[in-house]
Amino acid sequence: MKRLLFIAFLPLLMMASACSDRVAQEERLRVIFETDIGNDIDDALALDMLYKYVQQGEIDLLAVMLNKCAPAPAEYMDIMNTWYGYPELPVGVVRNGSDDAWGQYAQDLVDLKSKDGAPMFARSHSGYENLPDAHILYRQILAQQPDNSVVIASVGFSTNLARLLDTPADKYSPLTGKELVARKVKLLVPMAGHMADSTYCEYNVIKDIPSAQNVFAQWPTPMVVSPFELGKEIKYPGESMANDFTWAPLHPMVESYRAWGKGNILYDRPTWDLTAVLYAVEGDRWFTMSEPGRVEITEKGASIFSPCQDGNVIYMMADEAQRDAILARFKEIITRPLTTK
């Protein structure tokens, strides 16, 4: 029976991959981005990709959910949404999360000033402390979507997703969180764990182990994991950051990249979060996929993948040729100038 269930999920996975052309609004992929932006710089590049997909008419970006309660990441998101032209994009935050540190490059970007002392980048909002709880914003947004229509790219911790699963019925939906996810979400793409090394404790997992355990054990839809070992071997070149953005002399993602390097922009950085976004929007055409299985998160935060035909998890892999093609695709998207709306 469970094998039949996984087979039944496969058309949904295929649907998630069919989004390379401009498509009608009602057919566009609906994406929610779950991020610990402010920690590592790959979140900022992954976010850039999502804005570009929106600009190309390939997706509807429904919301960004933050894993960090500190004000800098929320203000940083306002800067990014404003600069890219989406100031009203909904943003949810975590409260009493597992990592409320400021996020240094987010703080650095927030603090950047012009010569006249004015903020370097414009904001559209204030009062970031009033942003909604992410797990409640999920309920509000998911309840409004068609069934089996939402893809979540989760490139940070599992706190918000675990809290969402545990929510009771409310004014937005008579369904519990788990029921609502099962009804509205067709795919979760987490960047999490290490599938080739069952002893490795990966960062996104260890920042909130109980939530990661809950999500991997309870999540009611297919999951496609981007594991640590994939993005680690595909490094975005600092040379591109230094040379490919003459069309935007003051670019918040480029300045973020520079800030993360403490003034140095010529470093190469793994593309963990970018690989998750690439799959979430473009599907499996860039990757080799594992067989289905389940993932157990240990008490220390290691991830153990066990193949089984009735599992709801598959993960991405890439050989050298695929890695080269994936990096070329990342550069193509990220260096593409914004179009005027």
List residues near Ca ion by CB under 5 A.
36, 43, 155-156, 273
Closer residue to Ca ion (CB): 67 or 82: 67
Closer residue to Ca ion (CB): 36 or 255: 36
Closer residue to Ca ion (CB): 16 or 274: 274
Measured from the CB of residue 155, what is the shortest distance to Ca ion in angstroms? 4
Measured from the CB of residue 161, what is the shortest distance to Ca ion in angstroms? 14
Measured from the CB of residue 105, what is the shortest distance to Ca ion in angstroms? 12
Measured from the CB of residue 253, what is the shortest distance to Ca ion in angstroms? 14
CA atoms of 40 and 49, how far apart (whole Å): 16
The letter for the amino acid at 208 is D
Measured from the CB of residue 9, what is the shortest distance to Ca ion in angstroms? 26
Closer residue to Ca ion (CB): 216 or 228: 228
Closer residue to Ca ion (CB): 43 or 108: 43
Measured from the CB of residue 333, what is the shortest distance to Ca ion in angstroms? 18
The answer to whether 95 touches 133, Cβ cutoff 8 Å, is yes
Q: How many CB atoms lie within 10 A of CB 30?
A: 20
Q: How far is CA 91 from CA 79, 211, 255, in A?
A: 12, 21, 22
DSSP string across 142-188: HHTSPTT-EEEEE-S-SHHHHHHHT----SS-SS-HHHHHHHHEEEE
Q: CA angle, 311 as apex, 307 and 317 as ends, to 5°?
A: 55
Extract the tokens encoding 76: 């940083």
Closer residue to Ca ion (CB): 36 or 58: 36
CA atoms of 67 and 102, how far apart (whole Å): 11
Contacts of 174 (CB under 8 A, 6+ apart): none
Measured from the CB of residue 204, what is the shortest distance to Ca ion in angstroms? 7
The answer to whether 274 touches 287, Cβ cutoff 8 Å, is no
Measured from the CB of residue 156, what is the shortest distance to Ca ion in angstroms? 5
Measured from the CB of residue 225, what is the shortest distance to Ca ion in angstroms? 14
Q: In this structure, which long-range contacts are made by residues 304-307, counting pairs with CB atoms below 8 Å and at least 24 apart in sequence?
A: 304/198, 305/193, 305/195, 305/198
Q: How far is CA 323 from CA 102, 241, 266, 290, 303, in A?
A: 33, 19, 21, 16, 23
Closer residue to Ca ion (CB): 41 or 180: 41
Closer residue to Ca ion (CB): 58 or 273: 273
Query: Alpha carbon 198 to chain centroid distance?
Result: 23
Closer residue to Ca ion (CB): 270 or 311: 270
Q: What is the helix (H) or strand (E) element at residue 31, kind and residue range?
A: strand 29-35
Extract the tokens encoding 212: 């990661």
